[in-house]
Chain A
Amino acid sequence: MKMGSSSTKTTPVEQTDTLHGLADVWKVIVLNDPVNLMSYVVMVFRKVFGYGEDKARKHMLEVHEQGRSVLWAGPRERAEAYAFTLQNWQLTTVLEKDETN
């Protein structure tokens, strides 16, 4: 009985931790660099995220003028996949946990 009640107390704590982990939102952020062409950056955003020309261009201008743009936000695993793909296209990309979420 003791073991049973101990287990009952412990299990919900573990579940709560897991739920927090799943709920974390990660931002995929591209930083400005003076090397990659604007047309290249637009093309990469269109290719990786499937954005239209206008949306891709808006993000490119954000990167260029503000130094960074949040391209995507969501679960960590997908964010990592996007970050890897963007780094593979030679764009400076970082992941940040969305602390406001």
Chain B
Amino acid sequence: MKRIEIKLSQQVVSPLLDFLKPVVRELGSSLALDPVFPEGEDSSFEETWRGDLLASQSGDVSSFLELFDREFVEDGTIRIDDDSADFVLRAAAAIRLHLRARWLRDVPGEILEKGELAYDSLSPDSRQAYASYLFLATIQEIVIQHLEPAGGR
């Protein structure tokens, strides 16, 4: 089993985690993406679909936060292996979508994709959101690059 250890600066990451914890709690009760259904589906089908997505998302983001529990507090390291790679990637995607929807919604998509945000012009909360957004993207890149969760390149 492959496993990676990512050494993080607690000084940098801890404030981001303080910002992210309530965001993650929100994702325990609301979906990051609202699913679109084809016409003709009844409401109970849609309710079940949403419920299953929410249960999965909630599990992903809770497990993701647990990466930053005891070991991270002790030595600033998070450890991700083949088994945890999927939930880490999905949770990071859900949180990034939520950060965008809540704090970065006024930023045009093209600017966001190119990373050309005028950081200084953002409000303090939006700065925290954008820093968290970039941090989560970095975690995703590392996992994809080193654990190759799709099964090899």
Contact = CB atoms under 8 A, between A and B. Distances in A.
A56 B149 CA distance: 14
A42 B152 CA distance: 12
A84 B149 contact: no
B34 to A, nearest CB: 9
Interface residues of B, number: 31
A60 B49 CA distance: 25
A47 interface: yes
Contacts of B90: 88-90
B141 to A, nearest CB: 7
Contacts of A92: 33, 36
B32 interface: yes
The winner among A37, A44, A90, A97 for most chain B CB atoms within 10 A is A90
Contacts of A35: 93, 96-97, 100, 112
Contacts, number: 70
B117 to A, nearest CB: 12
Given A43-B149, A47-B151, A87-B33, A37 B140 contact: yes
B17 interface: no
Given A34-B112, A46-B150, A84 B36 contact: no
Interface string A15-39: 0000000000010000001111101
Interface of A: 26, 33-37, 39-40, 42-44, 46-47, 53, 56, 84, 87-90, 92-97
Given A40-B140, A87-B53, A90-B33, 14 more contacts: A26-B38, A33-B97, A34-B100, A34-B109, A37-B141, A39-B140, A39-B141, A40-B89, A87-B35, A88-B53, A90-B93, A90-B97, A92-B33, A96-B38
